[in-house]
Structure formats: C-alpha cells, structure tokens
Structure 1
Amino acid sequence: MIIIKGVPFKKIQGITLFPFIIVQPKKPSMVLLNHERIHIRQQLELLIIPFYIWYLVEWLYHYAQCRSGWAAYRQISFEREAYENEEDFSYLRNRKLWTFWKYR
C-alpha cells in the first residue's frame, strides 16, 4: 500500500487504486485510511481487475434503480462493508475472506 496525497476531486476524500491510496493533501484521518485499507483487502481477494469490474457493474445496477450517483455508490457491497467497519481498527485482523459478500 502506497499513500499519495493529491486527490484531484474536491468532494472525494480518498480513493484506492491498488496498490495506491490517494487522499486529499491534508493529513488523512485514521478512519479514512482504515476505509481505504478495507478496499485494498477486497481488491486483493478478487485479484484486482475483477474487483473493478464488479464495482462498476454494481454501481450501474444501483444507478439504474435510483438514478443517483451518490446513492448508487453507497449501495455497492464493497462500500457498505468499508463504511460499516471503517471505525473498527481491528476489523482487518479479524475479517474473514470475502466478507463483502454478505453486504450484497
């Protein structure tokens, strides 16, 4: 995992593009970094490229239902897992393989 400061979008605090976590130039919070580390683990489980395909397909599916980019993003199983567990700093130590599956 390599942390880079300089997300080019104002509304995005961080984004994970394996093996990089790209964050806003200010100091990222531990919660944000934990959220992005959860995404690193998800990407590794799905061997990276399938993760992005699955992510996009889920976003398109939810977008077709609600017609809101933000609402579709929050319904993606990967995001639901990360948001629900971002404040639990021991989560990744105890997380079982493919846990995101239960968030579908």
Structure 2
Amino acid sequence: MVLISKYLVPKGYTGLTVFPFVFLRSKHLKKDAVLMNHEKIHLKQQLDMLIMPFYLMYAIEFLVRLFQYKTWDLAYRNISFEREAYANEVNLDYLKCRPPFGFLKYLFVNDV
C-alpha cells in the first residue's frame, strides 16, 4: 500500500518502506517506476528477513558502515539492502527473478 506523507519520509529522501507500506514524499512519485521498483525490492527484503530482523540488521549495518565510511550518505548507500535496491531499481523485471536473500550478494562487495 502506497501512502503519501512528506512528514514521515526523512528530508533528502523520496520514499521509505515500512512493511507493508511504502511512504512517498509526494503523490506524483507513485508514477516513478524506478522509485517504486526500488521500494518494492525493500518490501521483498523485509519479507526475506521476516520483517523485524530486517530493521535490526539494517540499523546494525548502517552503524558499521558509518564507522567505516565516516559520512551518512556513504554509510547509507553501502548498506547491503540499499546496494541491492539501487543496483537493480532500473530492471523492472528484477523481482520476477530475484533470489531469496538477494541482498547477501552485496554484503561483502567493494563500496559504491
């Protein structure tokens, strides 16, 4: 379910996925196929991890990456969940062939 809320989506971001919802900053973003694919990849990741463990792993990996890269943006972009989503967001068929736990491929690769 897609909901519009400029207050729930952090400044500097266009979307946020909290299973089973995708929050977008503005209504016109619903038509952005690449953004919606990115957020749907996050929904699949959350299902892979049985939802709550996803958020715990996301937070822990973010803290590790923040220590590693020293900047918020680099830490965020190097989280394995984000790497998978960004690497495949333009492939609108990705979710049809995505393996379970597809983000693991991005856990130990070089930084972006």
Q: TM-score range by the shorter chain?
A: over 0.9
Q: Which residue of 2 aligns with 1:87?
A: 90
Offset, 1:18: 0.6
Task: Tell me how far apart the structure 1 counterparts of residues 81 and 19 of structure 2 sit (CA, whole Å).
Answer: 14
Q: Which stretches in structure 1 are left out of the alignment for 5+ residues?
A: none
Task: Tell me how far apart the structure 2 counterparts of residues 78 and 23 of structure 1 sit (CA, whole Å).
Answer: 18
TM-score by length of 2: 0.88
Task: Tell me how far apart the structure 1 counterparts of residues 86 and 20 of structure 2 sit (CA, whole Å).
Answer: 20
| 1:53-68 → structure 2 map (5 Å cutoff) | 53-68=56-71
Number of equivalenced pairs: 103
TM-score by length of 1: 0.95
Structure 1 segments of 4+ aligned residues over 4 angstroms from their partners: none
Provide, for residues 25-80 of structure 1, a one-character-per-residue CA deviation record: whole Å limited to 9, x for no partner: 14111110000000000000100000000000000001011211111000000000
Q: Kindly indicate whether the alpha-carbon contact (under 8 Å) linking 1:7 and 1:14 is maintained by their aligned counterparts in 2.
A: no
Q: Which stretches in structure 2 are left out of the alignment for 5+ residues?
A: 108-112
Aligned-residue CA RMSD (Å): 0.9
Task: Tell me how far apart the structure 2 counterparts of residues 19 and 96 of structure 1 sit (CA, whole Å).
Answer: 20
| 1:4-43 → structure 2 map (5 Å cutoff) | 4-8=3-7, 9-28=10-29, 29-43=32-46
Q: Which residue of 1 aligns with 2:110?
A: none
Task: Tell me how far apart the structure 1 counterparts of residues 53 and 6 of structure 2 sit (CA, whole Å).
Answer: 23
The letter for the 2-side match of 1:15 is L
- Residue aligned with 1:88, SS: coil
* Percentage of pairs with the same residue: 44
